[in-house]
């Protein structure tokens, strides 16, 4: 079991972040839990980052400014100087809510886990566009969480080392997989532990992330001599690349395609969207674009009472007055079984089917007409 007075080392890596670093610093110093060691590793910023950091000098336990070989090199430097029982990484521009670290310590105090993985709110233009939940079940295929929502005992780093610098995008996934294979005890929790800013991820960046993550997963499968896992990793990431293409094609649909949408959706009916993550929000944007009546959102883990002004409800509170659109592709089969088990009599449709039909329509009809494909 953990001790009540565990020290938490928070490592912030920064480079030329004069517009974002202050929000990050203030979120750390406002934590309700106070046994915190705050470490800032600066990649030798040339803007006013240092001047802003200096304003909070009394709250910073260690500061280093020198050139580095990238974000993971800087993170490794932070680990080297960390003296806490727990280590976490908070990038410049990201922030904690006031009770975040207190929640983390409470979980460590009441378990013998080595690593804690929580949820993360993705922020764009001051709005929550997505809540990313951690799920250890997918660790053999891709990174199962946001690294900003990972809190690890320092002893794990002492045991397996830091981040491998040969990886440029997914070294955090490689590290987590090594910890998992070394039998670290990992706990996933639904609570949102961090908010992180996103400028949006391009299709090219997303493909690079999928490729590096697949390389790591395949190397792991080969290392543990699991041929079946190798095939599963390839299939999983093939689908991830296909989804990336489909998401890109999805954006071409517009109000002029209303007849096509009316053929794949009953636009005279009302809907519930099951899922508040990425695909739940994509589904909402489609419904909004075509003025489809929405009753609300359904989620097994209700983190917020509403989304886009609509109620987010637990499955038991759903009325039999609309079609359920299942917008959580990874859990479609589980949700379909849950609908049957809980005797929810609503008809249902899977958003993945809608997206597939839209991508085929756009690729084979719209883009050919425009000579874009």
pLDDT number for residue 64: 97
Q: Do 295 and 358 belong together in one domain?
A: yes
What confidence tens digit (pLDDT) does each residue in 60-113 have?
Answer: 999 999 999 999 999 999 999 999 999 999 999 999 999 999 999 999 999 999
Q: Do 209 and 233 belong together in one domain?
A: yes
The answer to which of 42-51, 111-120, 218-227, 304-313 has the lowest mean pLDDT is 304-313
Is 129 a domain residue?
A: yes
Domain that holds residue 70: 8-200
Instruction: List Cα–Cα distances, 259 to 102, 176, 318, 357, 371, in angstroms.
Output: 52, 47, 29, 13, 22
Number of domains present in the structure of the chain: 3
pLDDT number for residue 2: 46
Query: How far apart (Å, rounded) are the C-alpha atoms in residues 282 and 356?
Result: 13
pLDDT number for residue 192: 93
Q: Do 162 and 50 belong together in one domain?
A: yes
What confidence tens digit (pLDDT) does each residue in 269-311 have?
Answer: 999 999 988 889 889 989 999 999 999 999 987 767 888 889 9
Q: Do 54 and 146 belong together in one domain?
A: yes
CB 223 within 8 A of CB 122: no
Q: Do 245 and 289 belong together in one domain?
A: no
Instruction: Give the CATH number for residue 272.
Output: 3.40.50.720
Q: Do 67 and 118 belong together in one domain?
A: yes
Q: Do 314 and 180 belong together in one domain?
A: no
Averaged pLDDT, 234-251 = 84
Assign residue 53 a region (left: φ > 0; alpha: ψ between -120 and 50; beta: otherwise): alpha
Is 3 a domain residue?
A: no
pLDDT number for residue 255: 87
What confidence tens digit (pLDDT) does each residue in 4-19 have?
Answer: 689 999 999 999 999 9
Is 1 a domain residue?
A: no
Task: Tell whether the torsion through CA atoms of 157, 160, 165 and 169 is positive or negative.
Answer: negative
Q: Do 173 and 187 belong together in one domain?
A: yes
Q: Do 195 and 277 belong together in one domain?
A: no
Q: Do 188 and 212 belong together in one domain?
A: no
Q: Which residue has the tokens 């609309």?
A: 322
Is 74 a domain residue?
A: yes
Q: Do 45 and 194 belong together in one domain?
A: yes
Query: How far apart (Å, rounded) are the C-alpha atoms in residues 280 and 273?
Result: 6
What confidence tens digit (pLDDT) does each residue in 122-153 have?
Answer: 887 777 777 888 999 999 998 899 899 999 99
Q: Which residue has the tokens 């199962």?
A: 144
Q: Which among 160, 184, 200 is the end of a domain?
A: 200
Is 2 a domain residue?
A: no
Instruction: Give the CATH number for residue 22.
Output: 3.90.550.10
Q: Do 151 and 31 belong together in one domain?
A: yes
Q: Which among 182, 200, 218 is the end of a domain?
A: 200
pLDDT number for residue 368: 62
Closest CA to 104 of 90, 86, 77: 86
The CA-CA-CA angle for residues 138, 351, 337, to 5°, reads 65
What confidence tens digit (pLDDT) does each residue in 151-194 have?
Answer: 999 999 999 999 999 999 999 999 999 999 999 999 999 899 99
């Amino acid at each position: 079991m953990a001790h009540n007075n565990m020290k938490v080392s928070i490592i912030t890596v920064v480079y030329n972040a004069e517009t974002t670093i202050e929000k990050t610093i203030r979120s750390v110093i406002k934590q309700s839990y106070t046994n915190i060691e705050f470490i800032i590793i600066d990649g030798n910023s040339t803007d006013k980052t240092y001047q802003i950091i200096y304003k909070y000098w009394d709250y910073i336990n260690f500061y280093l400014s020198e050139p580095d070989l990238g974000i993971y090199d800087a993170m490794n430097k932070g680990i080297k100087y960390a003296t806490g029982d727990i280590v976490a990484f908070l990038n410049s521009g990201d922030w904690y809510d006031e009770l975040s670290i207190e929640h983390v310590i409470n979980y460590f105090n009441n378990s013998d886990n080595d690593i804690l993985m929580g949820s993360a709110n993705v922020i764009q233009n001051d709005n929550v566009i997505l809540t990313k939940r951690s799920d250890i079940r997918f660790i053999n295929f891709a990174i199962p969480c946001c690294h900003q929502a990972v809190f690890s005992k320092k002893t794990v780093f002492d045991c397996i080392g830091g981040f491998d610098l040969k990886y440029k995008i997914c070294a955090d996934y490689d590290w987590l997989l090594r910890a998992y294979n070394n039998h670290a005890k990992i706990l996933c929790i639904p609570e949102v532990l961090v908010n992180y800013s996103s400028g949006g991820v391009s299709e090219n960046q997303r493909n690079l992330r999928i490729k590096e993550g697949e390389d790591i997963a395949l190397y792991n499968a080969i290392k543990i001599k699991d041929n079946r896992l190798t095939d599963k990793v390839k299939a999983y990431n093939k689908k991830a690349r296909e989804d990336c293409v489909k998401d890109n094609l999805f954006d071409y649909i517009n109000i002029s395609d209303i007849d096509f949408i009316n053929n794949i959706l009953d636009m005279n009916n009302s809907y519930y969207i099951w899922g508040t993550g990425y695909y739940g929000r994509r589904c909402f944007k489609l419904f909004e674009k075509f003025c489809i009546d929405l009753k609300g959102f359904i989620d097994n883990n209700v983190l917020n009472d509403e989304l886009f002004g609509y109620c987010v409800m637990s499955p038991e509170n759903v009325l039999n007055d609309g079609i359920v659109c299942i917008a959580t592709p990874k859990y479609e089969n589980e949700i379909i079984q849950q609908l049957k088990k809980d005797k929810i009599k609503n008809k249902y449709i899977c958003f993945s089917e809608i997206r597939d039909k839209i991508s085929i329509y756009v690729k084979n009809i719209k883009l050919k007409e425009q000579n874009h494909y």
